[in-house]
Homo-oligomer: A and B are copies of this chain.
Amino acid sequence: MTVTNSDQRYEIVKSLIEQEDWEALSEVIEKLPTVEIVEILEKIDEEHQLVVFSLFSKKEKAQIFGELPADEQYYFFQHLDKRDFSKIFQDMRSDERADFYQDLSVGEQSALLPYLNKQVRSNVLELSGYEADSAGGIMTTDFATVRNWMTVRQAVDKIKLDSPGKKMIYYVYVVDNEKTLLGFVTLKDLILAELDDKIEDLVHVDFVAAQVDDDRENVAKMIEKYNLVALPIINIERKLLGIVRHDDAIDVIVQEQTEDMERLMGIQPSAEADEDEGYLDLSVFKHFKKRVVWLVSLGIMGMISGLILHHFEEALDKMVILALYMPMLADTGGNAGSQASTVVIRALSLGEVRSKDWWLITFKEMRISLLLAICLSTVACIKVFVLSYDAVLPGHLTLTYVAFIISLALALQVVSSTLIGAGLPLIVRKFGGDPAVVASPAITTIVDVTGLLIYFSLATAFLLN
């Protein structure tokens, strides 16, 4: 990076605070991007936070406050004068404002409302009424609108009146007098046009939009697919209610990815859709709660493997060598299955395949698994020869024969685990569920069971009669 290191900038700020040189500090922090100011505020101790915060202008305070984490926001809320706070609140981005409002208690909300002007009050109540993980829950109402009959000159004048700098985005929406969305013009269009050109000659009428109750992940995917700077959000009557910005789309995508990866490992996603606590902030008990559910379920599901082993206890007693290679079957099956399910879940999630492609996927996985089975059973054969060269075997059995049977079991295990791993997400999707719930631990446990059945059935049939 070419700008000075953000750690260095933090050190400078810290020393200026220690010296209580508020004037110099003011000069330095004015230039910093909001996201770094937020990081700095989080690091300095509480008594100094409010002092530093007071050095900013009203507009800057609103921007900074909007990007603070929820617990910091609450701390400031409790320590700022109600009238001062309401001024900051009214200048915030409408979506961040609504998010903060939603987290307040009913008493705190009632105490705040009287300080807000009518427009802000109704806006906050409207936005905080939407589900947190819907388009309405992440949209902002800060956008500019113009009318079809306007000239570029008139449109620009309206934009200057409506949208004080910070909050407007690069698309300007064209609506009728009932706020029905007719199309949009970009700032690019406006800049490159002549002042007397009419909006109706520039407007793009073919546009994508999302409904206010659409899932936020679908909204983010649309923004990604169509390379948009912002996506308009409308209701059934096609009235423009808000927009979702590209930067919010990236945040949703990253957050949903974290959930998917965790879910793949059997970790419960956060209960609140907008819970933004990072790893270190989340309490030990909350971490525990997220992980224990799956681990215990696994333990219980493992009873089935236990029952199978109990059933085949005699076989194990007669040929202890069988116990030596049980882990190999379990591990290989678990990993082959997990790989297949990860690949299929990812392909479904990126829209590369649909559940109606199930046969193509199954056929592909079958061929992949055959190649893998050949490789891995060869490795298994070698392992048996190397590790059990001195094994004592019952009766007529040779090591070669035993190695062959064990390798055959492994080959069947690899093929079946791969097909199970690829198939389960498809089945879940077919029934309308989210394939990512088929977590790796589920696959591992299921292929444990099938692996043991394959293994001991073959052993009983060929080695123990």
Contact = CB atoms under 8 A, between A and B. Distances in A.
Interface of A: 1-3, 31-33, 35, 156, 159-160, 165, 168, 170, 187-192, 206-211, 214, 222-229, 234, 238, 246-247, 249-251, 253-254, 257-258, 260-262, 264-267, 278-280, 284-285, 287-288, 291-292, 294-296, 298-300, 302-303, 305-307, 309-310, 313, 316-317, 320, 323-328, 330-332, 334-336, 338-339, 342-344, 346-347, 350, 352-353, 357, 360-361, 364, 367-368, 371-372, 375-376, 379-380, 383, 386-388, 440-441, 444-445, 448, 452
A400 B346 CA distance: 46
Contacts of A302: 327-328, 331-332, 383
B375 A2 contact: no
A346 B258 contact: yes
A323 B332 contact: no
Contacts of A254: 224, 253, 350
A335 B295 contact: yes
A412 to B, nearest CB: 15
Contacts of A360: 280
Nearest to A338: B265
Given A250-B250, A371-B292, A298 B335 contact: yes
9 contacts: A3-B208, A33-B208, A170-B170, A258-B350, A260-B261, A265-B343, A284-B367, A292-B371, A309-B324
Contacts of A306: 324-325, 327-328, 383, 387
Contacts of A168: 188
Contacts of A316: 320, 323-324
Contact of A257 (B257, B265, B280): B257
B324 A327 contact: no
A261 B258 contact: no
- Listed from nearest, the 9 A-B pairs whose CB atoms lie closest are A279-B347, A278-B352, A227-B247, A323-B323, A187-B187, A299-B379, A265-B342, A288-B371, A31-B206
A327 B448 CA distance: 8
Nearest to A267: B339
A401 to B, nearest CB: 19
A287 B364 contact: yes
A224 B344 CA distance: 27
B296 A338 contact: no
Nearest to A245: B227
A31 to B, nearest CB: 4
Contact of A372 (B211, B295, B372): B295
Contacts of A192: 159-160, 165
Contact of A159 (B3, B191, B339, B452): B191
B339 A265 contact: yes
A234 B376 contact: no
Nearest to A342: B265
A214 B1 contact: yes
A207 to B, nearest CB: 8
Contact of A331 (B209, B258, B330, B371): B330
Contacts of A313: 320, 324
B35 A227 contact: yes
A368 B287 contact: yes
A393 to B, nearest CB: 13
Contacts of A368: 284, 287-288, 291
Given A238-B2, A288-B368, A299-B328, A347 B35 contact: no
A461 B361 CA distance: 50
A250 B247 contact: no
Nearest to A170: B170
Contacts of A303: 383, 386-387
A279 B448 contact: no
Nearest to A187: B187
Given A168-B188, A264-B342, A379 B300 contact: yes
A357 B307 CA distance: 44
A352 B280 contact: yes
A279 B422 CA distance: 12
A448 B379 CA distance: 19
Contact of A224 (B250, B380, B440): B250
